[in-house]
C-alpha cells in the first residue's frame, strides 16, 4: 500500500441537511459485525492516518467498536463529526482508556449561535481521552465570523475556515468572497483561512482559486489524470477501495468537471506543508 492518506466513508446516513453537501444520504446503516470491522482495519497500515467521515460517523451503530479496534491496533485516526447531540452522547460513552481523535465541523445553516455555545461547552467538559484536533467553520457569509469568534472563545482546538463549495451549481458566490477575504491582510490576520497549495506542471496554484477556475471552465478537469496519482485512497462503507471519494474516475482519469478535494473541503488532505503534484 503506497497511499499517504486514507479516507473511510463509514456510512451515508446524516442527521443534517446541508444544501451544499455533495453526498447522497442513505437512510440505511452499515451492518458489519465487529469481527468484520476488525479484519478490515487490520488490513490497513497503522502508520498512515485514516480519516473517517460520512454522513455523520457517530450514527454508525458500531462506532464505539471501531474506536476500540483503533486503540487495540494503535491505528492513527481522526473522526470528523458535526458534534450534534447524538454525536456528543456517543463521545460521552467512550471508555476512558480509549483515545479518540476528533475533527469538528460547524455548519451555520444547521446550528444556531446559542446551540453552538451549548455544544462547545459539552465538548469542553469531555474527559482528556477525547482529543479535539481541529475545528472547521464552513465559510458562507459575514455571519461565519460570529461562529468563528464564539468557537475560538472556548479554546478547544485550532480553528480554520473552509469554503462552502456547491457541487453542480453554475455559480458559487461563496468561493469568490472566500478567496477575497483569505487574501485580505486584515481578515487573514484575524482569522485562519484554509489555502492549500497545489503544484501543476511545475507551477504552484492556490487550491481555492483552482476550484474557481474549474467552476468557470477555465481549467478543464475532465479527462485529466487524478491529481493524487495513487497517493490517496477512499474506502466505502462496504470496504470497497476507490481512488476518488465521489467515484468519478475511470482508469485514474477524472470524469467530472469539479473535484472538491482540490480545495480540501471534504477530506482535509493537505496541510500547509504538503504540496500535491499532478
pLDDT digits (tens, 9 = 90+) for 246-255: 766 677 788 8
Q: Which of 28, 29, 23, 26 is nearest to 7 (CA)?
A: 23
Name the pLDDT band for 124 (thresholds 50, 70, 90).
Answer: very high
In angstroms, rounded to a whole number, what is the distance separating the alpha carbons of residues 200 and 91? 41
Residue pLDDT, tens place only, 146-183: 999 999 999 999 999 998 876 555 555 688 899 999 99
- Mean pLDDT confidence for 219-232: 76
| pLDDT for the residue 69 | 97
Q: Identify the structural domains of the chain with CATH numbers, from first to last.
A: 5-277 (3.20.20)
In angstroms, rounded to a whole number, what is the distance separating the alpha carbons of residues 108 and 116? 9
Q: Which of 106, 108, 111 is nearest to 132 (CA)?
A: 106
Average pLDDT of the chain, as a whole number: 84
| pLDDT for the residue 27 | 73
In angstroms, rounded to a whole number, what is the distance separating the alpha carbons of residues 56 and 12? 8
Q: Which residue has the higher pLDDT, 133 or 4?
A: 133
Burial code (b: 16+ CB inside 10 Å, e: under 16) for 132-168 equals: bebbbbbbbeeebbebbebbbebebbebbbbbbbbbe
Residue pLDDT, tens place only, 254-272: 887 877 677 654 333 333 3
Q: Which residue has the higher pLDDT, 203 or 155?
A: 155
All three cell numbers of 258: 469539479
Residue 3 has pLDDT above 80, yes or no: no
Tell me how long the chain is.
Answer: 278
Residue 277 has pLDDT above 70, yes or no: no
| pLDDT for the residue 273 | 35
- Mean pLDDT confidence for 66-74: 96
| pLDDT for the residue 214 | 84
In angstroms, rounded to a whole number, what is the distance separating the alpha carbons of residues 157 and 142? 22
Name the pLDDT band for 220 (thresholds 50, 70, 90).
Answer: confident
Instruction: Flag the least confident range among 18-22, 123-127, 170-174, 269-273.
Output: 269-273
Look up the pTM and report it.
Answer: 0.87
| pLDDT for the residue 175 | 86
All three cell numbers of 59: 450514527
3-class DSSP state of 52: strand
Q: Which residue has the higher pLDDT, 225 or 170?
A: 225
If one counts every other C-beta atom within 10 angstroms of the C-beta of residue 259, the result is 24
Contact 27, 13 (CB under 8 A): yes
In angstroms, rounded to a whole number, what is the distance separating the alpha carbons of residues 59 and 91? 11
Amino acid at each position: 500500500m503506497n497511499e499517504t492518506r486514507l479516507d473511510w466513508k463509514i456510512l451515508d446516513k446524516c442527521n443534517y441537511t446541508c444544501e451544499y453537501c455533495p453526498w447522497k444520504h442513505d437512510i440505511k446503516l452499515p451492518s458489519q459485525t465487529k469481527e468484520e470491522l476488525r479484519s478490515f482495519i487490520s488490513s490497513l497500515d497503522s502508520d498512515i492516518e485514516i480519516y473517517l467521515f460520512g454522513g455523520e460517523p457517530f450514527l454508525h451503530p458500531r462506532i464505539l467498536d471501531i474506536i476500540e479496534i483503533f486503540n487495540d491496533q494503535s491505528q492513527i485516526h481522526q473522526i470528523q463529526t458535526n458534534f450534534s447531540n447524538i454525536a456528543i452522547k456517543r463521545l460521552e460513552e467512550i471508555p476512558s482508556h480509549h483515545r479518540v481523535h476528533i475533527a469538528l465541523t460547524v455548519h451555520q445553516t444547521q446550528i444556531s449561535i446559542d446551540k453552538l455555545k451549548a455544544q462547545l461547552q459539552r465538548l469542553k467538559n469531555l474527559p482528556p481521552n477525547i482529543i479535539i484536533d481541529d475545528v472547521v467553520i464552513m465559510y458562507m457569509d459575514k455571519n461565519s465570523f460570529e461562529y468563528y469568534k464564539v468557537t475560538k472563545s472556548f479554546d478547544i482546538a485550532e480553528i480554520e475556515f473552509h469554503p462552502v463549495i456547491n457541487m453542480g451549481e453554475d455559480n458559487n458566490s461563496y468561493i469568490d468572497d472566500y478567496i477575497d477575504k483569505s487574501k485580505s491582510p486584515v481578515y487573514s490576520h484575524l482569522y485562519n483561512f484554509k489555502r492549500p497549495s497545489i503544484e501543476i506542471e511545475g507551477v504552484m496554484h492556490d487550491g481555492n482559486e483552482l476550484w474557481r477556475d474549474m467552476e468557470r471552465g477555465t481549467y478543464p478537469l475532465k479527462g485529466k489524470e487524478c491529481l493524487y496519482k495513487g497517493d490517496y485512497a477512499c474506502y466505502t462503507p462496504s470496504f470497497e477501495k476507490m481512488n476518488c471519494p465521489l467515484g468519478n474516475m475511470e482508469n485514474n482519469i477524472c470524469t467530472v468537471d469539479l473535484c472538491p478535494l482540490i480545495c480540501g473541503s471534504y477530506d482535509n488532505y493537505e496541510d500547509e506543508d504538503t504540496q500535491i503534484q499532478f
